Amino acid sequence: MVSKKKLGILLSGRGSNFEAIADSISAGRIADAVIAIVISNRAEAPGIESARKRGLPVLVVPSKGKERQAHDAEVAAILKEKQVDLICLAGYMRLLSSWFVQQFPNRILNIHPSLLPAFPGLDVHRQALEYGVKVSGCTVHFVDEHLDHGAIIVQKTVPVLDSDDEHALAARILQQEHIAYTEAINIVLEGNHEIVGRRVQSMGKTKLTAG
Ligand code: GAR
């Protein structure tokens, strides 16, 4: 029997992307994976409470006042001890040190609520509305040593409507985020892709989609 792939989830807040991943595993949309650990850098993150209610292993590793690499070393030690195969950043609002990224090459995914390389960083929806784009969306990418930068696995688009404010646009994009993260995890866990330069390309079986 093939052993299930172990996911480590890192979050800082609401945790809706974490919940979408957990729901996809429960429903079999992500097959042969388990969530081995959910880690938050904030004790009050609602996502942590949600993970507890689901009976998942949860740890809070507070980051406040800690030097970045010292905090990252604590988190990395837990992920290694849990033998995670893939780390999913799900609203983890903390920059990772280069050291951390190097510990898990091509094994860290992030989701960002824009069509990267547009609008990296914070206040993403405000940036999109102020710029006046007519289309926005979300991106799931491998994490490299630069912010919101690594090779792109899945992108989904949504229209930007004249009536949109930040809240409305964020809500429309979030629906797509939940779909995109499951697709990206499946692509990566299937292992049927190769990274050529910045391009994540199918080696045949998996169909990579942009929608
Ligand atoms: C999501 O919109 C995610 O794309 C964004 O934070 C939100 C977390 O929501 N992440 C980033 O901006 C990372 N650069 P969630 O806690 O409900 O998943």
Altogether, the residues listed in the chain come to a count of: 211
Residue 18 lies in domain: 1-104
Q: How many CB atoms lie within 10 A of CB 197?
A: 7
Catalytic residues: 112
The alpha carbon of 63 and the centre of ligand 1 are apart by a number of angstroms equal to 18
In a shared domain, residues 75 and 121: no
pLDDT at position 206 over 50: no
Is 91 near ligand 1, meaning CB less than 6 Å away? yes
Residue-level pLDDT at 204: 64
- In ligand 1, the atom with minimum distance to the C-alpha of 17 is 18
Write down the pLDDT at residue 103: 98
Indicate the residue among 47, 81, 104 that finishes a domain.
Answer: 104
pTM of the model: 0.95
- Which residue's CA is the closest to the ligand 1 atom numbered 6? 91
Span 201-209, mean pLDDT?
67
Question: Mean pLDDT over all residues of the chain?
Answer: 95
Residue 204 Cα to ligand 1 midpoint, Å, equals 31
| DSSP code of residue 67 | -
Top pLDDT among 2 and 84 is at 84
- Pocket probe for ligand 1: among 12, 94, 112, the residue whose CB has the most ligand atoms within 8 Å is 112
* Angle value at C-alpha 146, between 6 and 111, nearest 5 degrees: 45
Q: Which domain-ending residue is among 74, 104, 134?
A: 104
Is any atom of ligand 1 closer than 6 Å to the C-beta of 177? yes
CATH code of 145's domain: 3.40.50.170
**Residue that terminates a domain, selected from 73, 104, 135:** 104
Is residue 119 domain-shared with residue 96, that is, in the same domain? no
The domain total for the chain is: 2
Give nearest CA residue, ligand 1 atom 1: 91
- Average pLDDT on 137-156 reads 97
Q: Is the peptide bond before 117 cis (omega within 30 degrees of 0)?
A: yes
Question: Do 95 and 191 fall into the same domain?
Answer: no
Determine the average pLDDT of the residues in 15-32: 97
Interval 53-112: pLDDT, tens: 999 999 999 999 999 999 999 999 999 999 999 999 999 999 999 999 999 999 999 999
